[in-house]
Amino acid sequence: MTSPPCEADPDLFFDEGNAGRTARAKKVCAGCPLRDPCLTEALAHAVEGVWSATTTDERKAMRRRAGIKARQIVTNPLRWKGEVA
Ligand code: SF4
C-alpha cells in the first residue's frame, strides 16, 4: 500500500479556517496517487478537512450537484488514508 503524502503532516489537512494552509494541503493532494479513491471515500462519508484537494464545503456542493447523500462515520479519517490500524 502506498503511503499517502498527507501522513507527513496530517494537521495541515484539518485547518480549513486558514486559506494558506488549505492551499498547501491541496497542493500535496495534487501529486497523490490515492487521489481518486480518496475523493470517492470523502464523498461517501461526512468527513471534514481537505481530502483529494477538496474542502468540506466543496464536497458538500459536489454531493448536492450529484445527489449523493453522505454517511456519518465515527472512525478517524486518517486511518483510512494511511490504512493504519
Ligand atoms: S488527502 Fe487524499 S489525496 Fe490528499 S494526500 Fe491524503 S490520501 Fe492523498
Which protein residue has the closest C-alpha to ligand 1 atom 6? Answer: 6
What's the predicted TM-score (pTM) here?
Answer: 0.84
Could you tell me the end-to-end alpha-carbon distance of the chain, in angstroms, rounded to an integer? 13
pLDDT in tens, 15-61: 999 999 999 999 999 999 999 999 999 999 989 999 999 999 999 99
Could you give the CA distance from residue 48 to residue 84 in angstroms, rounded to a whole number?
A: 19
**Residue 76 above 60 pLDDT?**
no
Cα gap 6→83, rounded to integer Å: 12
Query: Would the CB of 5 count as within 6 Å of ligand 1?
Result: yes
6 C-alpha to center of ligand 1: Å? 6
